[in-house]
Amino acid sequence: MKSTITKKIPVYRVKKYAAQDKIAWDDFIAQAKNATFLFKRDFMEYHSDRFEDHSLMVLKDEKLVAVLPANKKDNILYSHLGLTYGGLVLPKKIKLNETLQVFKALLFFLNSEKITTLQLKAVPRIYHLQPADEIDYLLFLTEAKRIRVDVSSTIDLNNPMKIQPNRIEGVKKAEKNNLTIEENLNFQSFWDEILIPNLQQRHNALPVHSVEEIKQLAFKFPKHISQFNVLKDTKIVAGATIFETKQVAHVQYISANADKQQLGSLDYLFHELITERYKHKRYFDFGVSNLNQGKNINEGLLYWKECFGARSVVHEFYEINTSNFSKLEAVLI
């Protein structure tokens, strides 16, 4: 009599994140191949009053295999609007076939919950610790629509370009003006004297983070959030807030007073950050220069960043009909 070996079919289950899942969530983020500290719950929840969190966890035979930081509004799930980037977060060992099953289960779950649309913003590749483009292929299969693209200016510090002479002239101005740089947690003076006045004057806006929020986040993530202030004598004249991940030093905020051209304050600061303080990183990312949902670019700001050798990395936004989970049924042949 021949014995029959039955292959066990994995069972995928999707559940909404709950407070009791915090440890499991954070442990997963720490080991993922395309995650940063922005996906830790202590970071995501600083603005919990502004968003209806609807983050999802995908389990395979009750083992966590993917998470999606997200918030919900009406019948749309957004890969979290309070984060710079988001998307499907995956473990290092996951293969394409399993990622396909994860995404299919996720879309099926959303569709069954009457959530008709998933808006997903991909994690830029500079944050990938291993190749993590599985989701790009699955977006193609599910006929996702690319609805927005922002452009971030990034320096590959393993292969840097020469900083242009006009930026070096700024450094020389700063040295003649005896400017100094302090790395500390003095967010208050930068927010009150530089950042908020500039944003209000130029854009009638406020920083995404209040000074109390950035202090709270820096306290919880001291290895990831740093403040650099440029001083003339004892007066702050410029500054930058840096979010640091394993491969990337990302500029979250940058601003200077009206004398920046005469003093060379920002040229001085960023020359130091790029060539000394963060030279061990793989990438130095200035962030986006986009306006109007990605359709316009601040030309002067872009030019200044590119003079340091930064070049373009895209932040992509997609929209997926959750009913398209069926398009993942017969991919593997």
pTM of the complete model:
0.93
Instruction: Give the mean pLDDT of 138-143.
Output: 98
Q: Give whole-number Cα distances, 37 to 42, 89, 193, 256, in Å.
A: 9, 12, 28, 27
| pLDDT per position as a tens digit, 71-93 | 999 999 999 998 999 899 999 99
Q: Which residues make beta-bridge pairs with 312?
A: 153
Measured in degrees and rounded to the nearest 5, phi and psi for residue 120 equal -120, 130
Taken in order of first residue, the domains within the chain and their CATH numbers are 12-149+316-328 (3.40.630.30), 159-281 (3.40.630.30)
Is residue 258 over pLDDT 60?
yes
Helix/strand/coil for 211? helix
Local confidence band at 4 (pLDDT 50, 70, 90 cut-offs): low
Local confidence band at 223 (pLDDT 50, 70, 90 cut-offs): very high
**Cα gap 154→156, rounded to integer Å:** 7
Local confidence band at 46 (pLDDT 50, 70, 90 cut-offs): confident
Residue 160's nearest CA partner among 30, 309, 27 is 309
| pLDDT per position as a tens digit, 268-319 | 999 999 999 999 999 999 999 999 999 999 999 999 999 999 999 999 999 9
How long a stretch of residues is the chain? Answer: 333
Q: Which residues make beta-bridge pairs with 332?
A: none
Would you state the pLDDT for residue 2?
54
Is residue 219 over pLDDT 60?
yes
